[in-house]
Amino acid sequence: MATIAPNGFAPELRRWRRARRWSQLELALRAGTTQRHLSYMEQGRSAPGRTMVVRLAETLGLSLRERNALLMAAGYAPVFPESSLDGEALRPVREAVARVLDGHMPYPAVAVRPYGEIVAANDAVSVLFEGAAEWLLAPPVNVLRLAVHPEGMAPRVRNLGEWGRHIVDSLRAQLLRSPDPALESFVAELEGYLPAVEPGEGHLGFAVPLQLRCASGELALITTLTSFATAVDVTLAEVHLEAFLPADAETARILAARASS
């Protein structure tokens, strides 16, 4: 007699496989199992072992939070801890992040949670906050909303359409990997702030430097993203660092002058 899996696991496994646009055969081959076994798991006719659930989650490229959820759907306890970012367990990480952010001076750098919520920043971010409405700067500040909102950075961004599209496209790519109604709503909100963009003949994509006016002149900024690739804590895995670096010598000069003054 077949073992019946917990009700939640089968539909979750199907949902994630379809989100990846994989056939049962493709997922089975990638995960090192058979199509028949995978089919039984998706029908709820076979209960996977904990090791199989972990292997499927890893094969599907799920985040640590999503892996925990899939384990719980299969009737197992989550394996990845979720510590408070303000707690003692992550204190060494907080201190390391603070040193990294300070090391980016005089260039703006932030540490953010998913969807752009700032959890730490260096002093140079004042150039991003310049002239923004107070309600946008009330904690927790969302750097993505700040970037494109008409009461935030938007009036100072010369290439708002292209830069904003770069932000939205990145979020949409994330939405394809991990469908989430809250993220979908947030993307729709950001899109509502952006002007229409018609790519010209020389268009090379929307990953373009941010052209930002500030009190000291005009800046051209490129961004770098750093994540904790080997994190085994859900909270830490969801934090990444974003640095705004000068794309030209004049930008570097302006930012250095602002820091020294």
In this predicted structure, the answer to whether residue 130 has a pLDDT above a threshold of 80 is: yes
Q: Average pLDDT of 39-66? A: 95
Q: Are 204 and 219 in contact (CB under 8 A)?
A: no
Q: What is the pLDDT of residues 210-245, one digit of tens each?
A: 999 999 999 999 999 898 878 889 999 999 999 999
Q: How many CA atoms lie within 13 A of 65 on its CB side?
A: 11
Each domain of the chain, given as residue ranges in start order, spans 9-73, 88-260
Query: Taking all residues of the chain, what is their mean pLDDT, rounded to a whole number?
Result: 91
Q: What is d(CA 133, CA 136) in angstroms, rounded to the nearest whole number? A: 6
Integer CA distances (angstroms), 149 to 143, 173, 183, in order:
10, 21, 17
Q: Which CATH architecture has domain 9-73?
A: Orthogonal Bundle (1.10)
Q: Which CATH architecture has domain 88-260?
A: 2-Layer Sandwich (3.30)
Q: Are 113 and 239 in contact (CB under 8 A)?
A: yes
Q: What is the pLDDT of residues 93-120, one digit of tens each?
A: 999 999 999 999 999 999 999 899 999 9
pLDDT higher for 202 or 169? Answer: 169
In this predicted structure, the answer to whether residue 3 has a pLDDT above a threshold of 60 is: no
**Other beta carbons within 10 Å of 179:** 13
How many residues are listed for the chain in this entry? 261
From the list 104, 40, 150, the residue with the least C-alpha distance to 243 is 104
Q: What is the pLDDT of residues 179-213, one digit of tens each?
A: 889 999 999 999 999 998 766 665 555 567 899 99
Q: Are 124 and 108 in contact (CB under 8 A)?
A: yes
Same topology, domains 9-73 and 88-260? Answer is no
